[in-house]
Structure formats: structure tokens, C-alpha cells
Amino acid sequence: MTTQATEDDLMYALSDLFIDNEVEYAYIAAVAREFPLAEVEIALFRFVAPVCFQNLSTPVPPVWAMFDREELLSDIERLKRRQATAGWWRTTKARWLEAYLRRRFCDEWETLKSVIDADAAFQQ
């Protein structure tokens, strides 16, 4: 019996891109391929990266194995609520941050996409 991944599962899997350890792209891709690629990209750069990127921006990252699932999902929900009620200035800042994160983590995104594509080609 196969269970369908939820959006929470996707967010949690994507957070692995921001741990201070070797990234398991195959694991992330296994969850991500259950969603349209555009949805994965939005989840990564609009929700997960803004919450998690600072972990890799410190000399000694506090998270090296995995993020706490409940705390991560709570932080993402809080971010979504703030974004939903954001005014012009906060929306503009969020767009700037998203653009920065897209540039900063473009290699990780390209690697993940290639693993997802390779898995999809293998399954056909």
C-alpha cells in the first residue's frame, strides 16, 4: 500500500537541502516527484528556503542532521499567514528575499530537478 505525500511531507523533505550535512537528493526527489515541479519550486523558494536558509549562513549551523518537523511546519505556517496579510513593503521584501534565495540555491535546485527528472525517466 502506497501512501500519498502531503504538502507537509514535501516541505519537510525540502528542508533537507538546508542541513549542514550531505544532502540526500534521492530522498527529497522521492517525495517531490509526487507533486508538479512548479509546485515544488514554489514550496522551496517561497516557503521552505525563507525559513531554513539561515542555517547555512552561520559559521556553525545549529541544524546538521534534520529540522524538527513540527517546529519547521509551524514556522512555515506562520510565514504563510504573514504573507497573506502583508502590505506593499513586506511583499516587496519577500520578493527580494525569494530572488536572492533563487540565486543562492540555484545549484541545489538544479541538482534536485535533475534527480527528479532521472527518477521520472527511470520509472517510464
For 12-27, what is each residue's pLDDT tens digit? 999 999 887 788 999 9
Q: Is residue 56 part of a domain?
A: yes
Lowest mean pLDDT among 5-9, 29-33, 56-60: 56-60
CA-based nearest residue to 18, from 40, 48, 39: 48
Q: Identify whether the C-beta of residue 119 lies closer than 8 Å to the C-beta of residue 30.
A: yes
What average pLDDT does range 66-90 have in this prediction? Answer: 90
Q: Is residue 72 part of a domain?
A: yes
Q: Is residue 2 part of a domain?
A: no
Q: Is residue 46 part of a domain?
A: yes
CA-based nearest residue to 40, from 97, 104, 115, 122: 115
Which pLDDT does position 79 carry in this prediction?
Answer: 93
* Domain span at 118: 7-123
Q: Identify whether the C-beta of residue 17 lies closer than 8 Å to the C-beta of residue 101.
A: no
Share of the chain above pLDDT 70, in %: 84
What's the domain count of the chain? 1
Q: Is residue 100 part of a domain?
A: yes
